[in-house]
Amino acid sequence: MIFDEEINQIIRNIKPSGIRKFFDIAATRKNVVSLGVGEPDFITPWHIREAAIYAIEKGRTFYTGNKGLPALRKGICDYYRRRFNVSYEPEDNVIVTVGGSEAIDIVLRTILKPGDEVILPTPAYVAYRAIIEMAGGKVVEVELKEEDRFKLTARDFEKAVTDKTKAVILNFPGNPTGGVMSREDYARIVPIIKKHNIFAITDEIYAELTYEGTHCSIAEYEEIKDQTIVINGFSKAYSMTGYRVGYILAHKDLIDMIVKIHQYTIMCATTSSQYAAIEAVNNGDADIERMAESFRQRRNFIVKELNRIGLKTHMPEGAFYVFPSIKISGLGSEEFCEKLLDQENLALVPGNAFGQAGEGYVRISYAYSLDEIKTAIEKLEHFLNNGIR
C-alpha cells in the first residue's frame, strides 16, 4: 500500500514540531547542554507524590467519572475563586483532562466547523496551529511585537476579525515570549470579543508564573464569561508534567458538548494522578510560591546576562522563557541554532518554530539550574565572539 495516498490530506500537510527537531538532533550527541524543554526542573513536592502513591496502595485504580473526581473538580473551582477571583461550579463547569494538550484539542474540535477562522497571536505555542487545522479551522495570525511587550493590542486584534472568526486563542503568560496581559490590556479587547460574539479560549497554564503583580484571567469579565473557555493544568505550577492532568472551565452547555469527545476518546484522566492533583490544588499554594520565586531569580539573571553579551532581550513578565533577538548575528533563527549546536553543543529553539513572527529570535527556557544557565551563557558568548562562521 502507498500510505501517502491514503493519509488524511490535513495530517499530511502538517509540519512536524520545530521544537522536536532540535531535541532529536541533540539526543544523538554527547555532552549537549539544552535549554529547550518547557518543563520545571523541580521534583514534584513530596506531599503530592505521596497522594498518588497512597491512592495506588489503597487500590484507587479504577475509572473515574468522565468529568473527573468530584473532589478534584471542587478543588479546581475553589482554587480559581481563591487565586484569581473567578467563580465556576464543580458539577456544571469543569472537565478534568489528560493535560492541557487534550483540553486544547477537544475544545477546538467541539466549537470549530470547516472553514471557521481562529485568531492566533504569534509567536505562539507550536501545538495551536496544528490542532486548529486538524479540527478543520483556519489560522489567522496576529503578530505580537516586542515593542508592545508581546501583548495583543486591540488595534491588531480587531483588524483580524472577519465574519468567519469563531475564536481567539489567548496564552498569557505566553510561550515562547513570556508576555503578560494586564486587566487594562484585557479591558481593551473584551468589547471586541463581545461585539463579534466570538469565543475567547484562554490557556492559563503559566498563570502562577506571573512575576509583576498577579495573574488576570479574562474569565473575570462577566460580560463575556459565557464566551470564555479556560484551559489550565497542573504541569507548570506544581511541577507535575508527567502526571498529565489538565482541565477546562466553561459554560455548562459547552461542557456538555466537550465531554462527548472526552468520553469517547479518553474516558477519564489517570486516577492516581487525579488524587495527586487533589492534594496539589488544596494544599500546594506554598509550593507554587517557592518555585515561582526561584524562576524569578533565574529570569533576572539570564536577562541581564543575555543583554550583557549583546543579545537584546526584553524582560518577560511571566512563564519561564526568554525570547532574545539574534538579529545582530546576521543569521536566521534556524541557522543560528544549527550552528550553535554544531559548534558549542548548546541546544536552543529557533523562534520561527513558533510562527514566522518569531524569525530573528530564539527561545531559551530558564527552567534549569543556575549552573546550567551560566554554562549556556558562556557557550553563547563564545559563539558570538568566535564561532559565527
Residues 343 and 371: beta-carbon distance below 8 Å: no
Yes or no: say if 142 and 119 are a contact pair by the CB < 8 Å rule: yes
Give the alpha-carbon dihedral of 361, 364, 370, 371, to 10 degrees: -90
User: Is the pLDDT assigned to residue 51 strictly greater than 60?
Assistant: yes
pLDDT band at 13, cuts 50/70/90?
A: confident
pLDDT tens digits, residue range 108-130? 999 999 999 999 999 999 999 99
**8 A C-beta contact, residue 272 and residue 61:** yes
Q: Using 50, 70 and 90 to split pLDDT, how confident is the model at 20?
A: low
How much is the pLDDT for 302?
98
pLDDT confidence band for 277 (50 / 70 / 90): very high
Residues 274-286 have a mean pLDDT of 98
- Grid cell 536552543 — which residue? 348
DSSP 197: T
Report how far apart, in Å, the C-alpha atoms of 295 and of each of 140, 211, 316, 373 are: 33, 9, 11, 12
Which run of H or E residues covers position 233?
strand 228-233
- pLDDT (mean) for 151-171: 98
pTM over 0.85: yes
Tens digit of pLDDT for each residue in 362-381? Answer: 999 999 999 999 999 999 99
Q: How far apart are CA 40 and CA 53, in angstroms?
A: 21
Given this model, what pLDDT does residue 102 score? 98
pLDDT tens track for 72-101: 999 999 999 999 999 999 999 999 999 999
Q: pLDDT over 90 for what percent of the chain? A: 89
Strands 246-249 and 321-322: unpaired
Residue 74: its H or E element: helix 70-84
pLDDT of residue 173: 98
Percent of the chain topping pLDDT 70: 95
CA 42 to chain centre: 18
Integer angstrom CA distances of residue 171 from 128, 152, 219, 257: 10, 10, 13, 23
